[in-house]
Amino acid sequence: MKEGRGENLQILCSRKLNPKPIYTTGQVLHEGGTVPLAVCAGWCGSVLSQLDLNGIFSLTASGGKRSYIDSLSFISSPISAAVCELSETYFKERYGSGGFRKRKHDNFPHGQRREEKENVNPPSALMTSFKSFQLELDTRHDKYERLVKLSRDITIESKRTIFLLHRFISAPNGEEILNESEVKLDAVRRKIKQVAQELIGEDMYQFHRAVSPGLQEYVEAVSFQYFIKTRSLISVEEINKQLIFTAEDREETTNMTSNSHDKQPHTWSLRVTPVDYLLGVADLTGELMRLCISSVGNGDIDTPFELSQFLRQIYDGFTFIGNTGPYEVSKKLYTLKQSLAKVENACYTLKVRGSEIPKHMLADVFSTKTELIDQEEGLP
């Protein structure tokens, strides 16, 4: 009983305004014939003031009872509440009762308290300005949501890149993996380009919360790759240099907000904020700790020492900032310290026992340790 049955319902209403309470009578015109309807008290008055006085309110509903009600929900709730009330009897007649009332109250919890406002005429100055506020807020929220989505995509792809790079140490085909990671990071940068395009003409900090997690993860991935290649720490300038985009395809820019100027330069860039950089680097240390443990597992004795030195330098840098930095940074400092301790302990164990344990058994010594660490770590 659902498909394609369009019904045109017209609800004819009249009202008596004085004295209160207001009574409204209504009837539904259905396919030429009329169906008499319930009298609804009180709050219908305010509804009718939004319709034309004694006006005809018509809507087309397709499908059965259920979708008829759904189709009402796009109308503001007092109207639909009233219409539901008016049409309740009608549907009882037509489809039998049951379930209807309950659903109505679920949908229109505010229906009852609209009695007082008779003098709301839609085109008042206040309503007009609120309509423009609606537009402005919706635009802003939409942009925010788009950025959140992009940020999540950036996070996911960056995480995958990191997992890929962890395979680098255990696999002999190093070049291949580095190339692959480069391809992946390029894909991430394309997403960041979209972020940059969304932010043209905007205040970056207004939407910073939406994009920050993604950018941090990107910093982590890109600095991890950089470390593997060069054994040093990438600078924030270096990262930002890679985030200057030129216009090859402008398909995204068409739906920019109106306040972006026409004479945009054909390059646009996104700057990773210092805080995002710091947080990303703090996350990097976690990855380096994993790298250290797994390289021991592979019988690589040199890397752990190199790493412990590198991590110590980063740690020193962070302690230099201390708690003058933002709150999130000082929070990461604790995890950073733990990572460093793990690496230092690994180095210690290697130094003390490395000479005693035959090389092929080193892996066993650390494999138990690795599990332990992984358990503690959870998902960073």
Partner 1 sequence: GRDGASADGALCPQEIRKVVQALEQTAREILTLLQGVHQGPGFQHISKKCQKAREHFGTVRTQMESLKTKFPADQYYRFHEHWRFVLQRLVFLAAFVVYLESETLVTREAVAEILGIEADRERGFHLDIEDYLSGVLTLASELARLAVNSVTAGDYSRPLRISAFINELDSGFRLLNLKNDSLRKRYDGLKYDVKKIEEVVYDLSIRGLNKEATVGAGGEK
- The reply on whether position 203 binds partner 1 by CB under 8 A is yes
Q: Which of 33, 106, 126, 358 binds partner 1 (CB under 8 A)?
A: 126
8 binds partner 1 (CB under 8 A): no
**Those residues with Cβ within 8 angstroms of residue 210's Cβ, 6 or more apart along the chain or in another chain:** 144, 147, 148, 151
Phi and psi, residue 325, nearest 5°: -75, -175
* Binding-site member from 60, 67, 94, 133 for partner 1 (CB under 8 A): 133
Task: By CB under 8 A, name the one of 70, 116, 371, 374 that touches partner 1.
Answer: 116
Residue type for 22, please?
A: I
Should residue 134 be labelled a site residue for partner 1 when binding is judged by CB under 8 A?
A: yes
Which of 17, 39, 120, 372 forms a contact with partner 1 (CB under 8 A)? 120
> Quick check: 56 binds partner 1 (CB under 8 A)?
no
- Of 19 and 378, nearer to partner 1 (C-beta) is 19
Q: Is 254 in the site for partner 1 (CB under 8 A)?
A: no
**Shortest Cβ distance from residue 249 to partner 1 (Å)?**
27
User: Under the criterion CB under 8 A, does residue 136 sit at the interface with partner 1?
Assistant: yes
Is there binding between residue 208 and partner 1 (CB under 8 A)?
A: yes
Q: How far is the CB of 124 from partner 1 (least distance, A)?
A: 7
Q: Does 131 bind partner 1 (CB under 8 A)?
A: yes
Residues binding partner 1 (CB under 8 A)? 20, 76-77, 110, 113, 115-117, 119-120, 124-127, 129-131, 133-134, 136-138, 140-141, 203-206, 208, 259
